[in-house]
Amino acid sequence: MHEVLKMEWGGEYSLDSSNLDCLLNILPGELEFQQILSDLDEKIKKNTSSIEQCLKDLQSEVNEIYTNEILQSTTDCLQWLNNCSFSSLRPSSTHHGELMEFLRTLQSLLKNEQNQEEMILHFLLDLSSQCGVSFPCTPSGTSFELTSSLHAIEDDSTMDVKSLWDDVRLHLRRFLVNRLQSQEETNTNALQQQREFKTQCIQQLLFLYPESEVLTKYQNMQNKLVSDLLQNCILSSCGETNFDKVVHGYQSSVPTLCTMIKEDLYILSGTIDPSSSLKFINETYLDTITEEMTVLLERLCELQFKENALHIVKANKISKKHRGTVHAVASQEYHKKGRNFCLTLYQLKCLSQLIKLFLLMEEKIDELSAEILFVPSFTEKNKNVQGVLKKASGELLIGETRANETSVLPEQLLQVEEPILLNFGWRNAFKDLSSSVAHCITIAIEDFSTKILQHEQKEEFSAAGCAMSLVNNQQMRESCRAVQQEEQPKRIAKFCSDIMEELDTLLPLALACRDDSLQEIRANFVEACSKVATAVLARLEEKSKDVPSKAPLQDLYAALSTAIYVFQHFTMYNNLMRETSKKPLFLVPVQQYQEFINVLQFQVTNYCVRVCATSILQDAESHHWDDCKAFYEGERCSFSVQMWHYFCCALHRDLWTILPPKTAQEILTDVLEQSLAILSSRYCQACPSYKRTPQIRIDIAAILMSTEDMLWSVCSSVQEFLNPHEDRDLKIYKIHSHCNSLLSVLAILTSPLKNLYETFLNNSDEQLPQDFSKVFYHPLHWLFCIPSSCSSLPKTPSAREMAAQGQLKLLLSQPYCNLNLLLETLLHHDCLLVKILLRSSRNEVLNHDEQCSLLEQINNKQPALIETIFTVLSYCTLSPKSLGIAFETYMEKEQLWNCLYNMTVSSCGELEPEVIRCLKLTLINSVKGIVKQIISLMHSWEATENYGMYQHKQIVPESLLKTVPKEWNYTPREMKRKESGKCFTRLAAQAVSIVISKLPTVIACLPPPVKYFFFLAERKMSRNFAELKKAGLLVWNLIVIICRIFEDGNTAELLTGATLDRWSKEKLSLVRVCLESIMGKQKSGPKQVTQKVIQSIEQQRPNWIESQLLKARKLSADCASLTVEGATLEEGGIALGFTEQKINMMVLDICHKPGGSEYLRQIYHIIWLNEEYLKEQLSCENFSEDGVTSSQCLPLTLMGREEQPVFNPFQVYRQSCVKVFNQSTITEWNWDWSNLLPSYLGLNQMTFRVLLAHRYSEVMKTLPYTFTCFIFSFLLEETKIYVFTSGNVLSSWILSSLLQLLPHLAMLSIAQAQ
């Protein structure tokens, strides 16, 4: 009946793998790459030597058995393995009587004893693996194909053996099938355990029956499960089947189906080839779902058709037609339209939701197959692959048949085996509905869009003069996530939001169109959407034309925001349908909206500038410059300047709350620049009287302060603020240019005469450049002349780094959460803002129960502020020092360094500060791969050596052992276990070796900020912890974490998803003791078993443990040292060396990490809620973290903030008086003319002459004649003395300017004479 192969493995071969389960979530440095590559190289060499030794042993075994065929080398051994088959091996016959007795004993145990199936299965597998017994795996109902070596057995006896074996394996098959079915019904185990259990059952079935038969049986089981699941989900609710019920049923069943498919893909991937796996998934799941869906939709079509026919009958009765023709009319209509019927909007939505479910399911299965089986996706068409194969195969066959053309038929040249791909034909189920859906979708879209537009028009007529009804769009729909946050509109018109929401619901109907039968649906959807887009555009154009005569200015912003929203939506539709259509489908609407957006944005800017120029800045009373009376006694600025400031504040608020952030900044920048151009031009032409000169100074100071306040909002980066370039940031550069011009007017027109005279008189031609117009002025010059803005700005205009207050102000002035700017602010000035947050937040120590597992801490859904900051900074791989610098003071203040030094095994369940827990969880994630590998080793050892959970299953009765044929030489596992006393030592040694060997790679894969943090902790380590220095603090903590996991078996189970029995937990505890002994953590002396384990490792590899620990420590220390040396540091702090590109790279890296973007937004929200407090802390002079403490506790939760109130000018007035420009303070400013005026030595000659003329023309008119003559004489005499004493020639343009006083002196002389 069977064949016995005499192949007993004489030894064990250690096959190791790289097992880089600690995934490379970072971009490793050079040292890390070297360590990882060396680790891989070491594993490859080790596996190579093990395989070579295995082949040598196999070669010797084969040479002993087959003396007629001698294998000379391992290459011959590989060739022999490749060519040999079991039928060619020399079998050893088994006596028929012994075989019958053995099978009868098995049969008797199965029939007469209970719960013996599992024991017998393991026993048969043990026989096959240990003794080489090959049990027949023939299909059911077929006879054995006996080899010639069993010629002594008669046919009748063969049938007896066959019937006995069939009976035994049938009984075992029922047992396994029942286990599979019961597992499906209970479904109480974890997914990982269930997957392993089913894999084991399938493999045991494959041991008994051929693959085709097992797969067929399993396929029938899964088919029934799928059908029952779909039918139960739909028929679970009472009433007739309708569209709504179908959608709800599939919504609940699709996730379950995806889980089942994923499970079977994993099970089959380790059992059969990928093509067979795909065939199984196609036939078992995808075809079954398509069939069920087809039947269900046909039933729905019948019901809907009958309902429509009933409406026709009623209509005919109402119209008094003959009753006898009603049925004929309905039948003619039925055949004429091909069962077309009307679908309501609600039914179309249900069908769209159903199609969306299938699209998501198709995408999910595509990802699973690519991930598990590495096979092509649905989108890779078979015809493309087939075409290539046919061409290549044809050429090959032709080449082969040239020598013998008659041997191959012509039709055989085209016979190519088609590759098996996933084939989900769910679209075929919708073919009967395609014509009805295509017809009704156009009607439905036109109907609801018309109703919404009409309703909006009625509301407008009923509430004349009111602003457009807007809705928030902060939470973009899932389909719009491709749009960047800076381009997302914040508020849009309600009618447009309603229309686009309905279109989004129907969009899956058009996305499903890949077949020709469904193309009509997409074509009609595109056509209807284009009409809707045109109608909405026309409505928005009407709205924009009503401003300002019939509607407020806010409607113009709302129309622009709504147009951008529609444009983005149709662009998204176009991109989604591009996969199935080569040409753009929404080209015309997209172009129309793009043109409308450009025009409307220009209209908004132009309107605001015209309002400023023709209305706000037209102030005759304030701008009566030649008035001899002072304007409000020189104690306030002009009304127009104040109103201009209010207008900019209101514009800022409207743009920030309605438009996309990027567009809002562009419009505000344009309005600010153009209005400043108007102000600069007007004040440059002003000729104030002596009494009105202080007003010029106050006006310009107020304009500059208001501009400085707005400048933080229009600049989106520090680089744009500090170093605006004429080519790159033209608008910002022009704003600075206008402000510098205004400051020139202030300096020349309003400075004291004595200071102006002394400044320009003390500079000769040799000290001044020849061409004054080409003298470079830094754009930020005017900012440093405003006393109130110096706290937020750098020390000098040419400084590369902004002050901490300015960095925070720039961040919070943005119209959205700018993640790049946020990260730059957090890293700025050695993480100063982070230090304030850590110091101000209360020190939370969470009281965890000892039974609370570490895994529950990992899955904490509401992280505290400290955890959030720690996570974000640990993700900053390009700024490795940031984590240590930010937490250094906090750790010292809270005295937490000792927690790292005294982190014993038992400390993980005690009270822990937030930082220590975050560090520990980071280390847990890094060693998770090692823990999984050790547990996998335990399981494989149990399965091979029959320990632990397998021990009670392998207690084979003596009655069965006696019947085992002696020729098989079977040794029970219990006896082998007693004979082998070194197995436990070998297991523990292998486990300890895995841990020690993986430590360097684990350290290489740790984030650089975490490695530097431990490096910083080691530098602060006292002499009391000198024993840690041998291995290093990081290595020490990694081993402690592994010991903690091995000590608590529940934590190991939750961390890995595996099931551990008592035996495994005991052995893990033994590994823990060995690791503690290596690290010197054991309180008592090492046990004898521990000594044996360590000695075993040292005997095989002398000094290997110490060298690995030193290697791990060196890797950690070297990486930290490179971090210190490679960091680009200057006086400003760690963020100074980072360009915008590096900041952007770090932000992208953080956002791709789990929860990264949410952590950043949470930090931003906390900063936003505590803006005033943080500004107060940053503004403290001589800031000292030890000396300054705060009693205020920051709000650490993400609480939604109420919507901003309507713009209140009185509130803005109060804020402006305090923050922007305090009029009384401006009038009392002590201008440092000695520093301000020398900067204008290089002013253009014409500009200086004009400004000086404007000043002196008014001065001379207001001064008495005798005093004017005195001033002129004084200036002339001083000039002569300067020239005579210094020997320098007076500057010609200064002399020319002084001579311009003569006409005014002459006019005054005439006036005095009269």
What is the length of the chain?
A: 1314
Rounded distance, CA 517 to CA 507, Å? Answer: 17
For 529, list phi and psi in degrees, rounded to 5. Answer: -65, -35
Rounded Cα distance, 1100 and 982, in Å: 15
Q: Is the pLDDT of residue 28 over 90?
A: no
pLDDT of 17 reads 44
Q: pLDDT category, 988, cuts 50, 70, 90?
A: confident
Helix orientation angle between 211-235 and 243-269, rounded to the nearest 10 degrees: 160
Mean pLDDT of the 421-425 span: 85
134 three-class SS? strand
The candidate with the shortest Cα–Cα distance to 1211, out of 794, 408, 649, is 649
Residue 939's closest CA among 1089, 1058, 1072? 1058
Cα(595)–Cα(601) distance, rounded to whole angstroms? 10
Give the residue from 685, 711, 678, 831 showing the smallest Cα distance to 1257: 685
Model confidence at 565: pLDDT above 80: yes
Tell me the pLDDT tens digit for each residue of 87-116: 434 344 677 788 888 888 888 888 888 888
Percentage of the residues of the chain whose pLDDT score is greater than 70: 68
Q: Match 């900041």 to its residue by tokens.
A: 1143
Residue 214, exposed/middle/buried by CB under 10 A (0-12, 13-18, 19+)? buried
Higher pLDDT: 212 or 75? It is 212
Rounded Cα distance, 880 and 199, in Å = 45
CB atoms within 10 A of CB 168: 22
Under 8 Å CB-to-CB from 558, ≥6 apart: which residues? 467, 468, 470, 491, 492, 493, 543, 658
Determine the pLDDT at residue 1197.
45
pLDDT at 50: 79
What 3 state SS string does 727-752 have?
CCCHHHHHHHHHHHHHHHHHHHHHCC
The secondary element (H helix, E strand) that includes residue 1220 is none
Mean pLDDT over 1182-1196 rounds to 50
Q: For residue range 636-647, list pLDDT tens digits in order.
A: 888 899 889 989
**Are the CB atoms for 1263 and 1310 separated by under 8 Å?**
no
* Alpha helices (runs of H) in 1058-1139, residue ranges in sequence order: 1062-1079, 1088-1100, 1104-1126
Using a 10 angstrom Cβ sphere, with 0-12 exposed, 13-18 middle and 19 or more buried, the burial of residue 865 is buried
Continuous H helices in 546-660: 554-577, 587-611, 639-658
Which is nearest to 517 in space by CA: 632, 590, 432?
A: 432
Per-residue pLDDT tens digits for 1036-1072 = 888 888 888 888 777 888 887 777 878 888 888 888 8
- Could you read off the pLDDT of 1163-1178 as tens digits, one per residue? 999 999 888 888 888 8
- What's residue 303's pLDDT? 76
Highest mean pLDDT among 752-766, 784-798, 893-907: 893-907
Closest to 365 in 3D by CA, of 441, 286, 310: 286
Q: Which long-range contacts (CB under 8 A, 24 or more apart) does 589-597 make?
A: 589/529, 589/530, 589/533, 589/534, 589/537, 592/533, 592/534, 592/537, 593/533, 593/537, 593/563, 593/566, 593/567, 594/567, 596/537, 596/540, 596/541, 596/563, 597/560, 597/563, 597/564, 597/567
Average pLDDT over residues 306-320: 53
- Are the CB atoms for 929 and 21 separated by under 8 Å? yes
CA pair distance 1233, 1229, nearest whole angstrom: 11
1041: tokens are 């974490």
Average pLDDT over residues 250-268: 90
Which candidate, 172, 266, 170, 185, places its Cα nearest to that of 221? 185
The confidence band for 672, taking pLDDT boundaries of 50, 70 and 90, is very high
pLDDT category at 153 given cuts 50, 70, 90 is very low
7: Cβ contacts below 8 Å, ≥ 6 apart = 61, 132
Please determine, for residue 526, whether its predicted confidence score (pLDDT) is greater than 90: yes
In contact, 1095 and 1105? CB cutoff 8 Å: no
* Highest mean pLDDT, choosing among 592-601, 773-782, 1253-1262: 592-601
| Of residues 59 and 179, more confidently modeled | 179
pLDDT at 151 over 60: no
Quick one: pLDDT band at residue 1216, thresholds 50, 70, 90?
Answer: low
Q: Is pLDDT above 50 for 2?
A: no
The Cα 741–Cα 747 span in angstroms is 10
Instruction: Give the residue from 804, 798, 865 showing the smallest Cα distance to 833.
Output: 804
pLDDT digits over 840-899, tens only? 875 443 344 433 444 444 444 556 889 999 999 999 988 889 999 999 989 988 888 888
Helix axes 431-462, 287-318, angle to 10 degrees: 60
- The residue among 412 and 1029 whose pLDDT is bigger is 1029
User: Which residue, 1239, 1294, 1291, is CA-closest to 766?
Assistant: 1291
Task: Give CA–CA dist 441/343, Å, rounded.
Answer: 8
The residues facing 491 across adjacent strands are 472
Q: Are strands 912-913 and 845-846 parallel, antiparallel or unpaired?
A: antiparallel
Average pLDDT, the chain: 75
Residues 825-839, mean pLDDT to the nearest whole number: 90
Of 386 and 612, the structure prediction assigns the larger pLDDT to 612
Kind and range of the H or E element at 184? helix 155-186
Q: Give the pLDDT of residue 19.
A: 45
Distance of alpha carbon 138 from alpha carbon 153, whole angstroms: 19
The pLDDT of residue 914 is above 70: yes
| Residue 529: how many other CB atoms lie within 10 Å | 25
pLDDT at 907: 46
Q: Any residues with CB less than 8 A from the CB of 1121 and at least 6 apart, and which?
A: 1015
Give the single-character DSSP code of 1291.
P
Contact indicator for 226, 286 with CB cutoff of 8 Å: no
CB environment 513-528: b (16+ within 10 A), e (fewer): beeeebbbbbbbbbeb
CB 329 within 8 A of CB 312: yes
Q: Is the peptide bond before 548 cis (omega within 30 degrees of 0)?
A: yes
Q: Is the pLDDT of residue 32 over 90?
A: no
Say what the pLDDT of residue 680 is.
93
Buried b (16+ CB within 10 A) or exposed e, 1177-1215: bbeeeeeeeeeeeeeeebebeeeeeeeeeebeeeebeee
pLDDT at res. 591: 94
What is the Cα–Cα distance from 397 to 407, expressed in whole angstroms? 11
**Range with the poorest average pLDDT among 626-630, 960-964, 1205-1209:** 1205-1209
The pLDDT, as a whole number, for residue 357 is: 93
pLDDT tens profile 1220-1241? 666 666 766 777 787 788 777 6
Residue 1293 pairs in a beta bridge with none
Give the pLDDT band of residue 598 (cuts 50, 70, 90): very high
Residue 673 has pLDDT above 60, yes or no: yes
- 878-894 pLDDT, tens digit per residue, is 888 999 999 998 998 88
* Res. 795 pLDDT band, cuts 50 70 90: low
The mean pLDDT value for 554-565 works out to 95
**CA dihedral sign of residues 324, 325, 331, 334:** negative
CA 1213 to chain centre: 43
Phi-psi region of 1155 (alpha: psi -120 to 50; beta: other; left: phi over 0): left
pLDDT band, very low/low/confident/very high, at 956 (cuts 50, 70, 90)? confident
> Given a cut of 70, is residue 1161 above it in pLDDT?
yes
Q: How many CA atoms lie within 13 A of 218 on its CB side?
A: 26
* Sequential DSSP letters for 789-854: GGGGS-SSTT-SS--HHHHHHHHHTSSS--HHHHHHHHHHHHHHHHHHHHHHS---EE---TT--H
Q: Which residue has the higher pLDDT, 291 or 1?
A: 291
What is the rounded distance in angstroms from the CA atom of residue 768 to the CA atom of residue 776? 13
Give the DSSP per-residue string, 798-814: T-SS--HHHHHHHHHTS
Q: What is the spatial distance between Cα 536 and Cα 533, in angstroms, rounded to a whole number?
A: 5
CA distance 976 to 953: 16
Amino acid at 1021: M
pTM (whole model) above 0.95: no
Per the model's pLDDT, the better-predicted residue between 1127 and 698 turns out to be: 698
Higher local confidence (pLDDT), 1023 or 370: 370
How far is the first Cα of the chain from the last one, in angstroms, to the nearest whole number?
A: 145
Taking the CB of residue 1222, how many other CB atoms lie within 10 A of it?
15
Task: Output the six-digit token pair for 438.
Answer: 């295509």
Q: Is the pLDDT of residue 192 over 60?
A: yes
- Cα separation, 1103 vs 1105, in Å, equals 6
Does the structure show a pLDDT above 60 at 171?
A: yes
Residue 570 to residue 567: CA distance in whole angstroms: 5
Q: Which DSSP symbol is given to 909?
A: G
Predicted local distance difference test score (pLDDT) of residue 1049: 78
Given a cut of 60, whether residue 383 has pLDDT beyond it is: no
d(CA 794, CA 817) in angstroms, rounded, equals 23
* Enclosing H/E stretch for 121: helix 117-131
Query: Is a pLDDT exceeding 80 seen at residue 217?
Result: yes
Q: Using alpha carbons only, how large is the chain's radius of gyration in Å?
A: 43
